[in-house]
Amino acid sequence: MNSHAHSPTTTEARLQRQLDHNRKLREQFERNRISVSQASILLIQYCQTKRDMLIPTVWGDLDVKDDPFEAKTAGCGCSVM
Amino acid sequence: MSSDMAERIANARKEAEYLKDKIREKKAALNDTSLKVMSQELEPLTRINIRIRRVLKGHLAKIYAMNWASDKKHLVSASQDGKLIVWDAYTTNKVYAIPLRSSWVMTCAYAPTGNLVACGGLDNMCSIYNLRTREGSVKVARELSAHSGYLSCCRFMNDRQILTSSGDMSCMLWDVDAGVKTMEFNDHTGDVMSLSISPDQRLFVSGACDSTAKVWDIRSGRCVQTFTGHESDINAVQFFPNGDAFGTGSDDASCRLFDLRADREMNIYTHDNILCGITSVAFSISGRLMFAGYDDYNCNVWDTLRSDRVGVLMGHENRVSCLGVASDGMAMCTGSWDTTLKVWS
């Protein structure tokens, strides 16, 4: 007597899930990856070519006139002594 | 169970094990060094001269989210005082103060055109507000409802499309005009906490409480890559400016950098005396600096390449809940449970 009465639908579902999982694994296997050294070079290159005003030691200080957070004096620009 | 079925399942399992081994082999062969080692010859960054330039005061309760506008001048913040405030970051003026129907807001976003802002939270909805109505007042334009859990993050692709992430473990793409969901992204097994759209808008990355980050193809709805490594909830994700890598922040007290083309973790940013979770991450315009907001009230600044900590921005009196870098890279803004936002430059 069969004491493990699995209904056909649940075992089919199990097989389907496993096959779907395997399909994803196959995609992962076939994916083209670059090496850590190649990825590192690309990241380093990007950091070194994009001007970054938050890093003055590398890119130079911002001119006061280009700094949007410097309070600009309106009117004649006189200061009261 | 028929013996045929049993055999097929057993064969499939064997194939899975074989594929997993082959994947491991392939990945190991590419693991020829580390980003940290490759960056050793770079000059360490010493003088990080970033200080508070503006303090945005006005919220009456904890700030949970902020997002810069594309014009680099305006930003929107969301607080559980039930308000969205749109600020001029240069003058500190409040341009709009928008009362919300639900005060349990967890996220907000500014559309690239500047026409719209969005927010959402425990109401499970994403509410869209039109800032530039003909009548001159700010109005609710749409209430996007379909998530069965809280809205953790929302980001506009353009005025017509917005992406959302939710505690219901899914992400959704919406047509704002039609007010309907056009794509659903399902694969996470935990609350999705954060999302970031790639610069070319073909992909987005999500971080979730299942400790994984997933990259999705927006058009097809498919999860194209999954990244593991974190040991706890990922609270924040942000694309590296070139769109080929992304940073994450987690409750496991570490930030990490993952590269899409290498398909792996590239770096980890952590310190023995950092024991608290990260709430938010953002990169400077070159990607060299990674800003991370922490539960211990500070924002740490990391050298993305060398993984050194190059600065600690102390300025808040409570948890830093959100932060962002303006699109021209000139300023960084932190938002906190201490009810203030601070603009650093």
Model pLDDT, residue B99: 96
Smallest Cβ distance to A6: which of B1, B20, B54?
A: B1
Q: How far is A53 from chain B (nearest CA, A)?
A: 6
Beta-carbon separation of A33 and B329 below 8 A: no
**Chain A contact probe: residue of B5, B25, B288 with most A CBs at under 10 A:** B288
pLDDT tens per residue, range B108-134:
999 999 999 999 999 999 999 999 988
Which residues in chain A (45-74) have CB-CB distances under 8 A to chain B? 46-58, 67-69
- The answer to whether A52 contacts B47, with C-beta atoms less than 8 Å apart, is no
Question: Tell me, what's the pLDDT at B1?
Answer: 62
Please give the interface size between A and B, counted as residue pairs whose CB atoms are below 8 Å apart: 157
Cα dist from A42 to A38, B17, B38, B125, B284, whole Å: 6, 33, 11, 40, 17
Of the pLDDT bands very low, low, confident and very high (cuts 50, 70, 90), residue A74 is very low
Beta-carbon contacts of residue B121 (< 8 Å; ≥ 6 apart): B64, B78, B102, B104, B105, B106, B107, B150, B151
**B151 pLDDT band (50/70/90 cuts)?**
very high
Render pLDDT for A28-41 as a digit per residue (tens, 0 to 9): 999 999 999 999 99
**Residue B336, C-beta contacts closer than 8 angstroms, at least 6 positions apart:** B62, B63, B297, B316, B317, B318, B319, B320, B321, B342
- The pLDDT value recorded for residue A58 is 86
Contact B305 A47 (CB under 8 A): yes
Give the closest of A11, A22, A54 to B15, CB-based: A22
Does the pTM surpass 0.90? The reply is yes
Is A43 within 8 Å of B331 when comparing Cβ atoms? no
Condensed to tens digits (0 to 9), the pLDDT of residues B29-48 reads 999 999 999 999 999 998 68
Q: Which of B38, B240, B330 sits opposite A53 (nearest CB)?
A: B330
A28–chain B Cβ distance below 8 A for any pair: yes
CA B144 to chain CA mean position, Å:
20
Chain B residues lying within 8 Å of A40, measured CB to CB: 33-35, 38-39, 266
Question: For residue A6, what pLDDT is reported?
Answer: 58
Q: What is the pLDDT of residue B12?
A: 94
ipTM for the predicted complex:
0.93
Average pLDDT of the residues of chain B: 96
How is the beta sheet containing B125-130 ordered, strand by strand? B105-110, B116-121, B125-130, B139-145
**pLDDT value, residue B135:** 87
Search chain A and give the residue with CA nearest B38. A40
Segment B187-212 shows an average pLDDT of 98
Q: How confident is the model at residue A8, as a pLDDT?
A: 66
What pLDDT shows up at residue A66? Answer: 85
Which of A18-22, A55-59, B74-78, B126-130 has the least mean pLDDT?
A: A55-59
Report the share of chain B in percent with pLDDT over 70: 99
The answer to whether the beta carbons of residues B138 and B131 sit under 8 Å apart is yes
Q: Cβ–Cβ of A36/B245 closer than 8 Å?
A: no
Which pLDDT value is given to residue A23?
94
B262/B141 Cα distance (integer angstroms):
42
Q: Hey, are the CB atoms on A33 and B263 less than 8 Å from each other? A: yes
How far apart, in Å, are the Cα atoms of B260 and each of A31, B164, B233, B268, B345? 11, 22, 20, 16, 30
pLDDT at A73: 47
| CA dist., res. B188 & res. B314, Å (int) | 34
- What local confidence, expressed as pLDDT, does residue B189 receive? 98
Q: Across all residues in chain A, what is the average pLDDT?
A: 83
For chain B, percent of residues with pLDDT exceeding 90: 95
Model confidence at A2: pLDDT above 90: no
Nearest residue to B174 (alpha-carbon basis) of B222, B133, B128, B209: B128
Q: Give chain A positions within 8 Å (CB) of B16.
A: 18, 21-22, 25
Q: What is the pLDDT of residue A9?
A: 76
CB B338 within 8 A of CB B320: no
pLDDT at B139 over 60: yes
Q: Please give the Cα distance from B164 to B147 (Å, whole number).
A: 9
CA dihedral B81, B84, B88, B91 (to 10 degrees): -20
Mean of pLDDT values over B188-214 = 98
Going by pLDDT thresholds of 50, 70 and 90, the confidence category of residue A79 is: low
A56 vs B246, residue with greater confidence:
B246
A76, pLDDT greater than 70:
no
